[in-house]
Amino acid sequence: MTEPPRPPGAGDSGAPPPEATPPSAPYGSSSADEPPTAPLSGAPAPGGYPPPGGYPPPGGYGAPGAGYPGGGAYGAPAGYANNDDKTWSLIAHFGGPVGVVVGGSLLGWVAPLIAFSVKGQQSPTVRAHAVAALNFQITWVIATLISFVLAVVTCGLLFFIPIIVALIPIIFGIIGGVKATEGVLYRYPMTYTFVK
Protein backbone atom coordinates (compact mmCIF):
# COMPACT_ATOMS: atom_id res chain seq x y z
CA MET A 1 0.00 0.00 0.00
CA THR A 2 1.25 3.46 -0.80
CA GLU A 3 1.15 6.47 1.42
CA PRO A 4 -0.92 9.53 0.36
CA PRO A 5 1.06 12.60 -0.73
CA ARG A 6 2.12 14.95 2.04
CA PRO A 7 1.57 18.71 2.00
CA PRO A 8 4.66 20.86 1.33
CA GLY A 9 6.82 21.30 4.41
CA ALA A 10 5.36 18.30 6.24
CA GLY A 11 7.38 15.27 7.23
CA ASP A 12 10.97 14.71 6.12
CA SER A 13 10.75 15.97 2.57
CA GLY A 14 13.62 18.33 3.22
CA ALA A 15 11.60 21.56 2.81
CA PRO A 16 11.77 24.02 5.68
CA PRO A 17 8.58 24.36 7.81
CA PRO A 18 6.33 27.39 7.11
CA GLU A 19 7.08 30.50 9.11
CA ALA A 20 4.74 31.33 11.96
CA THR A 21 3.33 34.77 12.64
CA PRO A 22 5.27 36.40 15.45
CA PRO A 23 3.39 36.20 18.78
CA SER A 24 3.37 40.00 19.17
CA ALA A 25 1.32 40.49 15.98
CA PRO A 26 -2.41 40.99 16.61
CA TYR A 27 -4.91 38.41 15.39
CA GLY A 28 -5.75 38.69 11.72
CA SER A 29 -2.49 40.37 10.78
CA SER A 30 0.29 38.74 8.83
CA SER A 31 3.97 39.20 8.18
CA ALA A 32 5.11 41.91 5.81
CA ASP A 33 5.65 39.60 2.82
CA GLU A 34 2.20 37.88 3.02
CA PRO A 35 -1.23 39.32 2.18
CA PRO A 36 -3.37 40.09 5.22
CA THR A 37 -5.60 37.27 6.39
CA ALA A 38 -9.29 37.82 6.93
CA PRO A 39 -10.67 36.72 10.29
CA LEU A 40 -13.37 34.07 10.40
CA SER A 41 -17.00 35.13 10.64
CA GLY A 42 -17.74 36.06 14.24
CA ALA A 43 -14.03 36.43 15.09
CA PRO A 44 -12.62 39.74 16.29
CA ALA A 45 -11.71 42.28 13.65
CA PRO A 46 -8.09 42.72 12.48
CA GLY A 47 -6.16 44.57 15.08
CA GLY A 48 -7.46 42.51 18.02
CA TYR A 49 -10.01 43.45 20.63
CA PRO A 50 -12.46 45.15 20.89
CA PRO A 51 -14.36 44.62 17.64
CA PRO A 52 -15.30 47.72 15.63
CA GLY A 53 -18.67 48.11 17.37
CA GLY A 54 -17.08 47.69 20.79
CA TYR A 55 -18.75 46.12 23.80
CA PRO A 56 -21.64 45.90 24.54
CA PRO A 57 -23.09 45.27 21.09
CA PRO A 58 -25.03 48.15 19.51
CA GLY A 59 -28.43 48.34 21.17
CA GLY A 60 -27.20 46.52 24.29
CA TYR A 61 -27.31 42.85 25.18
CA GLY A 62 -31.10 42.79 24.88
CA ALA A 63 -30.97 43.84 21.22
CA PRO A 64 -32.43 41.35 18.74
CA GLY A 65 -29.80 38.88 17.66
CA ALA A 66 -27.41 39.78 20.47
CA GLY A 67 -27.71 36.31 21.97
CA TYR A 68 -29.29 37.31 25.26
CA PRO A 69 -33.00 37.43 26.10
CA GLY A 70 -34.50 40.87 25.99
CA GLY A 71 -36.41 42.71 28.67
CA GLY A 72 -37.54 40.43 31.45
CA ALA A 73 -34.51 38.21 31.99
CA TYR A 74 -32.82 40.46 34.53
CA GLY A 75 -35.66 42.67 35.68
CA ALA A 76 -39.36 43.16 35.32
CA PRO A 77 -40.62 41.83 32.00
CA ALA A 78 -42.20 43.99 29.36
CA GLY A 79 -45.60 45.04 30.59
CA TYR A 80 -44.51 45.71 34.18
CA ALA A 81 -43.18 48.99 35.52
CA ASN A 82 -41.16 47.24 38.25
CA ASN A 83 -40.69 43.93 40.04
CA ASP A 84 -43.27 44.86 42.68
CA ASP A 85 -46.00 44.99 40.02
CA LYS A 86 -44.88 41.62 38.70
CA THR A 87 -44.94 40.07 42.18
CA TRP A 88 -48.46 41.29 42.97
CA SER A 89 -49.73 40.18 39.57
CA LEU A 90 -48.34 36.70 40.16
CA ILE A 91 -49.91 36.62 43.62
CA ALA A 92 -53.28 37.45 42.05
CA HIS A 93 -53.04 34.64 39.48
CA PHE A 94 -51.18 31.88 41.36
CA GLY A 95 -52.94 32.66 44.65
CA GLY A 96 -56.25 31.51 43.17
CA PRO A 97 -55.18 27.88 42.61
CA VAL A 98 -53.42 27.83 45.99
CA GLY A 99 -56.59 29.06 47.68
CA VAL A 100 -58.65 26.41 45.86
CA VAL A 101 -56.31 23.62 46.97
CA VAL A 102 -55.91 24.84 50.57
CA GLY A 103 -59.44 26.09 51.15
CA GLY A 104 -61.40 23.31 49.55
CA SER A 105 -62.27 25.13 46.30
CA LEU A 106 -64.07 28.01 48.03
CA LEU A 107 -61.14 30.33 48.87
CA GLY A 108 -59.67 30.92 45.41
CA TRP A 109 -60.91 34.51 45.43
CA VAL A 110 -58.93 35.57 48.54
CA ALA A 111 -55.48 36.10 46.97
CA PRO A 112 -56.76 38.10 43.97
CA LEU A 113 -58.83 40.23 46.37
CA ILE A 114 -55.75 40.90 48.53
CA ALA A 115 -53.70 41.90 45.47
CA PHE A 116 -56.54 44.11 44.27
CA SER A 117 -56.92 45.78 47.69
CA VAL A 118 -53.23 46.30 48.45
CA LYS A 119 -51.81 47.33 45.08
CA GLY A 120 -54.81 47.79 42.76
CA GLN A 121 -55.22 51.52 43.39
CA GLN A 122 -51.50 52.25 42.89
CA SER A 123 -50.78 50.25 39.75
CA PRO A 124 -53.12 49.88 36.76
CA THR A 125 -51.22 46.76 35.68
CA VAL A 126 -51.75 44.98 38.99
CA ARG A 127 -55.37 46.12 39.00
CA ALA A 128 -55.98 44.59 35.55
CA HIS A 129 -54.41 41.26 36.57
CA ALA A 130 -56.17 41.17 39.93
CA VAL A 131 -59.59 42.03 38.43
CA ALA A 132 -59.24 39.30 35.78
CA ALA A 133 -58.24 36.68 38.37
CA LEU A 134 -60.85 37.83 40.91
CA ASN A 135 -63.73 37.70 38.43
CA PHE A 136 -62.69 34.24 37.29
CA GLN A 137 -62.35 32.86 40.83
CA ILE A 138 -65.69 34.33 41.99
CA THR A 139 -67.43 32.86 38.95
CA TRP A 140 -66.03 29.41 39.70
CA VAL A 141 -66.78 29.58 43.43
CA ILE A 142 -70.43 30.08 42.46
CA ALA A 143 -70.18 27.22 39.94
CA THR A 144 -68.67 24.99 42.65
CA LEU A 145 -71.52 25.77 45.07
CA ILE A 146 -74.09 24.98 42.35
CA SER A 147 -72.30 21.71 41.54
CA PHE A 148 -72.34 20.68 45.22
CA VAL A 149 -76.07 21.40 45.40
CA LEU A 150 -76.56 19.38 42.21
CA ALA A 151 -74.59 16.44 43.66
CA VAL A 152 -76.63 16.51 46.89
CA VAL A 153 -79.98 16.79 45.11
CA THR A 154 -79.15 13.75 42.95
CA CYS A 155 -78.13 11.79 46.10
CA GLY A 156 -74.52 11.57 44.97
CA LEU A 157 -75.29 10.33 41.50
CA LEU A 158 -73.42 13.31 40.02
CA PHE A 159 -70.60 13.26 42.60
CA PHE A 160 -67.95 13.84 39.90
CA ILE A 161 -69.34 17.23 38.84
CA PRO A 162 -67.93 19.15 41.88
CA ILE A 163 -64.55 17.51 41.34
CA ILE A 164 -64.39 18.61 37.72
CA VAL A 165 -65.64 22.09 38.57
CA ALA A 166 -62.98 22.40 41.30
CA LEU A 167 -60.18 21.49 38.86
CA ILE A 168 -61.03 24.21 36.36
CA PRO A 169 -59.92 27.19 38.51
CA ILE A 170 -56.69 25.40 39.37
CA ILE A 171 -55.79 24.72 35.73
CA PHE A 172 -56.75 28.13 34.36
CA GLY A 173 -55.23 29.94 37.35
CA ILE A 174 -51.88 28.33 36.60
CA ILE A 175 -52.19 29.24 32.92
CA GLY A 176 -52.99 32.85 33.91
CA GLY A 177 -49.94 32.91 36.20
CA VAL A 178 -47.64 31.62 33.48
CA LYS A 179 -48.94 34.27 31.07
CA ALA A 180 -48.45 36.92 33.78
CA THR A 181 -44.85 35.78 34.17
CA GLU A 182 -44.38 36.62 30.47
CA GLY A 183 -45.94 40.05 31.04
CA VAL A 184 -49.21 39.23 29.26
CA LEU A 185 -52.66 39.85 30.72
CA TYR A 186 -54.55 36.56 30.48
CA ARG A 187 -58.22 36.73 29.55
CA TYR A 188 -59.89 33.92 31.48
CA PRO A 189 -62.57 31.95 29.61
CA MET A 190 -66.03 31.32 31.07
CA THR A 191 -65.96 34.35 33.37
CA TYR A 192 -68.70 36.69 34.49
CA THR A 193 -67.63 40.28 35.27
CA PHE A 194 -68.40 41.07 38.91
CA VAL A 195 -65.60 43.63 39.49
CA LYS A 196 -64.65 46.30 36.95
Q: What is the pLDDT of residues 94-140, one digit of tens each?
A: 998 988 888 777 788 899 999 999 998 899 999 999 999 999 999 99
Mean predicted lDDT score pLDDT of the chain:
75
Angle at 110 between CA 132 and CA 159, to 5 degrees: 90
Q: Which residue has the higher pLDDT, 32 or 114?
A: 114
Confidence of residue 9 (pLDDT cuts 50, 70, 90): low
Indicate if the pLDDT at residue 149 is higher than 70.
yes
For residue 104, the model assigns a pLDDT of 73
Beta carbons of 169 and 134 less than 8 angstroms apart: no
